[in-house]
A and B are shown apart, each in its own frame.
Chain A
Amino acid sequence: MLSIKNLSVSIEGKQILKKLNLEVEKGEVHAIMGPNGTGKSTLASIIAGRDFFDIDEGEVFYKGQNLLEMDPEERAREGIFLGFQYPVEIPGVSMNNFLRTALNEQRKYHGLDPMSASDFIARMEEKKKMLDMQSNLTKRSVNEGFSGGEKKKNEIFQMAVLEPQLAILDETDSGLDIDALKIVANGVNKLRKPDNSTIVITHYQRLLDYIIPDVVHVLYDGRIVKTGGKELALELEEKGYEWLKEHAY
């Protein structure tokens, strides 16, 4: 699904990712953990196509295509979804209008007709029900006046509606109370399918009590310093990030 080889990335001359390698197979859930400022969000942004980084070396392939040559919207239409750490507000644009536009742009790319109004409404209702979302959410403007928790839930909702093949959730758990956390995790679990992959980026182990990953990576100082099964997260929780320094150098 996703193959990152020797990826080095810098911003304004400062190196952030250093020869990073990552392989995500179909159907897998990967967790990427690590302390703040180690390049987790940069990695998410690079995959989604944010353009303020310099790619110094390396390659990124997604479904066999050279991802770094694709526009962000093309990546999205090919099935990449980023759950933002800080979702932006778009005043005056309703969630309904926003998602319908997004969905139809994606359909157009795949040569499909726009979704009919009734099919769209049915899909929105189905996903709201699935994620236990308030029904007035879709009438509100995109993220405008949403609480921190609502914004994060809204990211998961968008993911549910757009049905991506590769979802990257960037610190979706940060700032959530335990109930919201459960809702978010529940959503991710329900959307898990044999041909979809998910990358969960998190600072804390607690999200991984609810989303059980197949693979856990530890990102430290711009590179993946350790990869293991779900027990790695627990080990990390117990020993703390200081423990990693030994592995890093």
Chain B
Amino acid sequence: MANDDKILEQVTNNEYKYGFYTDIETDKAPKGLNEDIIRMISQKKNEPEWMLEFRLDSYRKWLKMEEPEWAHIYHKPIEYQDIHYYAAPKKKKNPKGLDEVDPELLDTFNKLGISLEEQKRLTGVAVDAVMDSVSVKTTFQDTLQKHGIIFCSFSEAVQNHPELVRKHLGSVVPNNDNYFAALNSAVFTDGSFVYIPKGVRCPVELSTYFRINAANTGQFERTLIVGDEQSYVSYLEGCTAPMRDENQLHAAIVEIVALKDAEVKYSTVQNWYPGNENGEGGIYNFVTKRGLAKGHNSKISWTQVETGSAITWKYPSCVLLGDNSVGEFYSVAVTNNRQQADTGTKMIHIGKNTKSTIISKGISAGYSENSYRGLVKMTKNAHNSRNFSQCDSLLLGDKCGAHTWPYIKAQNTSSVVEHEATTSKISDDQLFYCNQRGIDTENAIGLIVNGYAKEVLNKLPMEFAVEAQKLLSISLEGSVG
């Protein structure tokens, strides 16, 4: 037992490596939310009238809605009037090249290992970096433009491609979908926009890096990805935040539309600040992510590695509307210390012969609570559709909780839904076996957990899989069963 205590102690000393704060001038709106603030945001962004109307409509709906209470999470009430709804690093207008971007900002992203210049030169990954509410810089524009691919900040898209934004905005997640979606629709400040034209296979990974920097600031970003017919894109999102004592709200929306024969693969490595070992501080992450597999034979695939946030409330979902469309959800959610995660997916089968796969791996340690919540729905006309779900929980220690809430609704008789679930612990025998080969307990846990999550990690793009593996080991450093 003494050994366990020692190791537990190490967890508490385990610092969040992205917890620094960049001292940079910001342009902030006053705290609080009302129609004037929304008008101000819209004006700052020089938005067209329809965009402002969308925001105000969302705000009015939000006022009539109530914060959902069904999730297995507990937190202090969120003071919505105590948040800045707009914060932007002060910068020169529209930097044309990296040399025009504030060096402090570039330095921030360099510290995060997201060197925009490096990325541009070496990896062939196009990056859009969003700090607080504003997109900092999107790299790789020339290559993308050659293929007619649009990858830009949401604000730019509203200015330059209003017809595309207007057509798809809110088409997958309506502005009254849920409390946090309504809030986001009212106040979202930036995010990424992607359009892949018909028949184009995007030659590089597209990546957005989100960073909350300013204090008392909510981050409300919005991502919209449209894959036109026969297109393909792989998109990755990464997130970090400084260590702060207070909780910060993050309420994002991601909408994906996949037309006929299109495939969109969305991967997330979520590493928001999780709070300290006593559960103080950390990000409240209330996110709505949904993809519409609209066309026949379209495919949407979600892969997420969730290690951060004090609270995670997130259910990346697929609406399988087109016949033969495919939805996938691969998830590893790690909770340690006092973290709480209520996460899962919804697979709504509407088209015929639609298929969905759910692989969820929950890993709980410390005093954390880790829940899987998923819905598989076979509607009346979703003939001959199939779902396979596998929900595994791994427990480290005896103070944490793992919960599984699968909901299955079958409204036709020709569809097949399979659900498998397991709960396991890292056994002392496994640890000793590793120790006996010369591997210490910390590394053994990393090895075993990565083995457990391998099915999901394998779905990540190569360059991010390595990062995710390291992240898993770091998040669990010191937690022994």
- A residues contacting B by CB (< 8 A) are 48-51, 71-73, 75-77, 81-82, 84, 87-88, 90-93, 97-99, 101-103, 105-106, 109, 141, 158, 162
* CA A101 to CA B434, docked complex, whole Å: 10
Question: Could you name 5 residue pairs across A and B whose Cβ atoms are closer than 8 Å?
Answer: A50-B432, A84-B433, A92-B453, A93-B454, A97-B451
A72 in contact with B432 (CB, 8 Å): yes
Taking A88-B430, A91-B452 as contacts, is the C-beta distance between A106 and B438 under 8 angstroms?
A: yes
- Within the complex, which residue of B429, B439, B455 is in contact with A73, where a contact is CB–CB below 8 Å? B439
Q: Inside 8 A of B110's CB, which chain A residues have their CB?
A: none
- Minimum CB distance partner of B392 in chain A: A91
Closest 8 CB pairs of A and B: A92-B451, A93-B451, A102-B437, A72-B435, A76-B438, A92-B454, A106-B438, A105-B438
Q: Inside 8 A of A90's CB, which chain B residues have their CB?
A: 430, 433-434, 447-448, 451
* CA A69 to CA B366, docked complex, whole Å: 29
* CA A50 to CA B452, docked complex, whole Å: 24
- B residues contacting A by CB (< 8 A) are 3, 427, 429-430, 432-441, 443, 447-448, 450-455
Given contacts A73-B436, A92-B451, A97-B451, 12 further A-B contacts (CB under 8 A): A48-B436, A71-B435, A73-B438, A73-B440, A87-B433, A90-B433, A93-B447, A97-B447, A98-B434, A99-B437, A102-B434, A141-B451
B438 in contact with A102 (CB, 8 Å): yes
- Minimum CB distance partner of A52 in chain B: B428
A49 in contact with B451 (CB, 8 Å): no
A77 in contact with B438 (CB, 8 Å): yes
B432 in contact with A92 (CB, 8 Å): no
B433 in contact with A76 (CB, 8 Å): no
B427 in contact with A158 (CB, 8 Å): no
- Within the complex, which residue of B427, B454, B455 is in contact with A88, where a contact is CB–CB below 8 Å? B427
Q: Inside 8 A of B429's CB, which chain A residues have their CB?
A: 88
B450 in contact with A92 (CB, 8 Å): yes
A162 in contact with B455 (CB, 8 Å): no
A91 in contact with B451 (CB, 8 Å): yes
Closest Cβ of chain A to B470, distance in Å, is 14
Q: Inside 8 A of A91's CB, which chain B residues have their CB?
A: 451-452
- Minimum CB distance partner of B430 in chain A: A88
A102 in contact with B448 (CB, 8 Å): no
A101 in contact with B443 (CB, 8 Å): yes
* CA A93 to CA B437, docked complex, whole Å: 14
Closest Cβ of chain A to B433, distance in Å, is 5
B455 in contact with A92 (CB, 8 Å): yes
- Minimum CB distance partner of A106 in chain B: B438
Q: Inside 8 A of B437's CB, which chain A residues have their CB?
A: 76, 98-99, 102, 105, 158, 162
Q: Inside 8 A of B453's CB, which chain A residues have their CB?
A: 92
B435 in contact with A73 (CB, 8 Å): yes
* CA A22 to CA B232, docked complex, whole Å: 68
B436 in contact with A93 (CB, 8 Å): no
